[in-house]
Amino acid sequence: MTAGDRRADSEAQVDDFFEVLAQLTVEDVFLLGQLWSEEDEATRRRAWQRAKPAIELARLTDLLDEARRDVGAWMQATPSDFQGISGLLGRQADDVSVRRHAAPAVLDAVAGLLAGADLYPDETNALLRPWRAVTDDEEDARTAAG
């Protein structure tokens, strides 16, 4: 795979990733954060130590930076968080805290996607397992309904 092919593939993966993220329910996002917190922190840290240079070497740092900005925007309150009866009762503000709790899981998953085969399997799993656990269930449900 050429560098250009890897970049195009990585861009497509990150785009698909954020499309799925936008479709997750609050319950899914809560589960994502919960599953992430149960992963081994030392393995996650080691995975990041290998992922960062791999991402830099592949010249994909700008994609990671863009993902960080997108996650930052995703976890902020929006006007729609305060619409309807749930917003008036303050329940939607809880959605913001759920997104903020899950943000590290989202960034880990993006790093896992971008670093790809440059990580050891246990490192890839530490970064991507929470995301896959949540989204595999979503994909199964969509397939069954479709």
pLDDT tens by residue, the chain, 146 residues: 687 888 999 999 999 999 999 999 999 999 999 999 999 999 999 999 999 999 999 999 999 999 999 999 998 876 655 555 555 555 555 788 999 999 999 999 999 999 988 999 999 999 999 999 999 854 444 443 34
Q: What is the DSSP letter of 75?
A: T
For residues 14 and 63, the answer to whether their CB atoms sit within 8 Å is: yes
- Please report the pLDDT score of residue 76 as a whole number: 84
- Please report the pLDDT score of residue 140 as a whole number: 46
For residues 130 and 40, the answer to whether their CB atoms sit within 8 Å is: no
User: What is the end-to-end Cα distance of the chain in Å, rounded?
Assistant: 34
- Please report the pLDDT score of residue 90 as a whole number: 52
- Please indicate, yes or no, whether the overall pTM of this predicted structure exceeds 0.95: no
Q: What is the DSSP letter of 39?
A: S
